[in-house]
Amino acid sequence: MIHLSVDGMGGDNAPKEICQGVMKALHEYKNIKITIFGNEKLMNPYLEKNERLDIFHCEDYLAMDEKDVLKKYKENKELSMFKAMSFVKEGKADAFVSAGPTQAIILGGHFIIKRMKYMKRVAIAPIIPSYDGRGRFMLDGGANTELKPEHLEDFALFASIVAEKIYNRKNPKVAMINIGTEKNKGRDLEKNTIKLLEMNPNINFYGNIEPKEMFTSDADIFLTDGFTGNIVMKTMEGSIKGMGMVLKREIYSKLSSKLGAVLIKKAMKSTKKALDASEIGGAIIMGFEKIVIKAHGSSDAHAFKNALRQAKEMNELSILSIVEKNMRSIKEQ
Amino acid sequence: MIHLSVDGMGGDNAPKEICQGVMKALHEYKNIKITIFGNEKLMNPYLEKNERLDIFHCEDYLAMDEKDVLKKYKENKELSMFKAMSFVKEGKADAFVSAGPTQAIILGGHFIIKRMKYMKRVAIAPIIPSYDGRGRFMLDGGANTELKPEHLEDFALFASIVAEKIYNRKNPKVAMINIGTEKNKGRDLEKNTIKLLEMNPNINFYGNIEPKEMFTSDADIFLTDGFTGNIVMKTMEGSIKGMGMVLKREIYSKLSSKLGAVLIKKAMKSTKKALDASEIGGAIIMGFEKIVIKAHGSSDAHAFKNALRQAKEMNELSILSIVEKNMRSIKEQ
């Protein structure tokens, strides 16, 4: 039985969608058990009785727009997110899943769960939508604003193992996000990282990729620092939303195209779904001692269930011990 | 009479669309004169006789995919782009316009035209599409992979003057591209640049902006280093293209939505146009002693005409001397 620890109060649609996602996962996956942390009164209306579900009442929780997470953490370790993390740290559960604020998960992860021995940094690895729908990782999506080439090399190795084991990508291709495809492009960070990637026999380096090609690329992993990765994610989000807004405005400005809108409604909906990576799962936080999955802040029950499924698969396939074994054999050579 | 110097051979659709853009501009703007540099035999079919047009034959030109521009420059200064630049440098024309490779324009600018006295770096300032259609600058779009806070401060000042004089933005708002809106977000570059911007009485600092808001923001200028700026541009390009691809696939997968597609054809076209910033003009290269406009590589005649109009307006409004006067009074305080 895989035991997942869930922050019931994290996410824009918490606790409702989180609780409903938990119920969906319990129905669908018979080999999991969930302990959900949060305000019982607020969560109970959305939870059903289930012998594989435990509720752990926490009076307080972290606001989604909390600006000073560090202060909150120091003041109150009883917040639902931190309680759920401690539960995992203490070995009472196998993985932590939350749709709460990213920075809080990163901070709590460092203070409570701790980093893996061989990882000097952790990375957020969100799934990026793609034309073929299979999804690729990008990392770091925003855990660190500044990184060194050796950190990126560690991330590439970690992500390669996940891509191979969970997503069945044989010899997964790692691409460096850059401003040009030639090797001499980019900052020192890119140039020096490329050298490390090319020399590493455990990494299949694909070359540089410009972000205009990410959507159709056949690479499996996109590598960059957390500042750039976060900018890429937010630019994607803004561009897709912006294009949708303009298209709507242009369509509704004429009667004939308004009629057309009715006919393409389903296509619009499936386009939106295809561009929504949370269909595939949450972001894996790579580098902690335990499995940590960050579901998208705006997760609905379906998206949260997918994040739970991801945590379950990470556990089933023993991803962390494979990574650790690999890292150890490389680092102690 | 404003005299523009044009590289007739630069651009994916050169010389045809470039020559046709030149003719359009000559017909529309009676106060300009153009000298076009390039292969006469290839350009002549698209040029008409005009007393305000001079053709300067150059046997050679730079390939759009030239990888080693520096080597090319050293070997052959007779290439059409460099000849057109020298023409401006020698005072024979007022501005240089090209749809050729960006890196070649930046390199030629440094070697032939030279930087303005008070600018330690130059910036590419493309226009970014927006929901309200008025367009904003982003800089640096890719001239420098690494920049210091004081360089970004210079760019902000330069862009503010252009936005105010050419685009009639009163007291233009400068936003810092960042991974969060709080002041303490970002790398040292962002944090230190924000301090300079806040202290500068000639800059109206708007705050941080996340790229997901760029499309709808009411800021006038988006500031970032050339690596990040280039990544933002290319992510926008890829996301918009990607969403278009998915939408098309989804629409054409069903008969009913195929019918809808016919009805929304015009709306799709106008959406594409609204998202195409080359409607508004090319990218201004800010920081050279002379006006340098880089039209989009894929410019058609209409887009190239808009870039020529931009060069004309920069000259009419004496932008460079205003910038220089401002810079001098600040730097020599």
Q: What is the pLDDT of residues B316-327, one digit of tens each?
A: 999 999 999 988
A271 closest CB neighbour out of B186, B210, B243: B243
pLDDT value at position A275? 85
Match domain A1-119+287-321 to its CATH number in 3.20.20.70, 3.10.20.30, 3.40.718.10, 3.40.605.10.
3.40.718.10
For the full predicted model, state whether its pTM sits above 0.90.
yes
d(CA B19, CA B212): 38
Place of tokens 């200064």: B77
**The domain at A124-279 falls in which architecture?**
3-Layer(aba) Sandwich (3.40)
> Would you say residue A257 has pLDDT above 90?
no
Q: Would the CB atoms of A245 and B274 count as touching at under 8 Å?
A: no
> Would you say residue B278 has pLDDT above 80?
no
Interfacial B residues in 191-210 facing A (CB < 8 Å): 210
> Would you say residue A156 has pLDDT above 80?
yes
Widest CA span of chain B, in angstroms?
70
Q: Which of A27, A3, A5, A66 is nearest to A293 (CA)?
A: A5
SS3 A304: helix
Q: Does A70 touch chain B if contact means CB atoms closer than 8 Å?
A: no
**Average pLDDT for A210-234:** 95
B177 to chain A: which residues are within 8 Å by CB? Answer: 231
**Element of type H or E holding B165:** helix B149-165
pLDDT value at position B242? 92
pLDDT value at position A270? 87
Minimum distance, in Å, between the CA of residue B102 and any CA atom of chain A = 12
Q: Which of A324, A279, A297, A281 is nearest to A81 (CA)?
A: A297
pLDDT value at position B100? 94
- The token pair at A331 is 């680092």
pLDDT value at position A165? 86
Q: Which residue has the higher pLDDT, A27 or B117?
A: A27
> Would you say residue B333 has pLDDT above 80?
no
Minimum distance, in Å, between the CA of residue B51 and any CA atom of chain A = 42
> Would you say residue A301 has pLDDT above 90?
yes
CATH 3.40.718.10 positions along chain B are 1-119+287-319, 120-284
Q: What is the mean pLDDT of chain B?
A: 93
* A172: confidence class by pLDDT, cuts 50, 70, 90: very high
ipTM of the modeled complex: 0.92
Nearest residue in chain A measured CA to CA from B274: A246
B142 closest CB neighbour out of A179, A238, A267: A179
CATH 3.40.718.10 positions along chain A are 1-119+287-321, 124-279
Calculate what percentage of chain B has a pLDDT beyond 90.
73
> Would you say residue B50 has pLDDT above 90?
yes
pLDDT in tens, B136-157: 899 999 999 989 999 999 999 9
Q: Domain B1-119+287-319 class? A: alpha beta
pLDDT value at position B165? 86
Calculate what percentage of chain A has a pLDDT beyond 90.
73
Q: Which of the residues B70, B179, B214, B268 would you substitute to probe the A interface, choosing the one with the greatest number of A C-beta atoms within 10 Å?
A: B179
> Would you say residue B89 has pLDDT above 90?
yes
pLDDT value at position B19? 98
pLDDT in tens, A16-30: 999 999 999 999 999
Lowest mean pLDDT among A238-247, B69-78, B205-214, B301-310: B69-78
> Would you say residue B28 has pLDDT above 90?
yes
**Average pLDDT for B168-191:** 94
Q: What is the mean pLDDT of chain A?
A: 93
B142 to chain A: which residues are within 8 Å by CB? Answer: 179
d(CA A97, CA A109): 12
- The token pair at A332 is 């102690």
Match domain B120-284 to its CATH number in 1.10.238.10, 3.30.450.260, 3.40.718.10, 3.10.20.30.
3.40.718.10
pLDDT value at position A153? 96
Task: Give the Cα-Cα-Cα angle B249, B243, B14 (nearest 5 degrees).
Answer: 100
> Would you say residue B174 has pLDDT above 80?
yes
- Say how many CB pairs under 8 Å bridge A and B: 178
pLDDT value at position A154? 95
**Average pLDDT for A70-81:** 89
Lowest mean pLDDT among A86-100, A175-189, A317-331, B41-55: A317-331
**Average pLDDT for B128-133:** 88
pLDDT in tens, A259-285: 888 888 888 888 888 888 777 778 999
Place of tokens 């010389």: B15
Minimum distance, in Å, between the CA of residue A229 and any CA atom of chain B = 10
pLDDT value at position B327? 85
CB A202 within 8 A of CB A160: yes
- The token pair at B228 is 């990040």
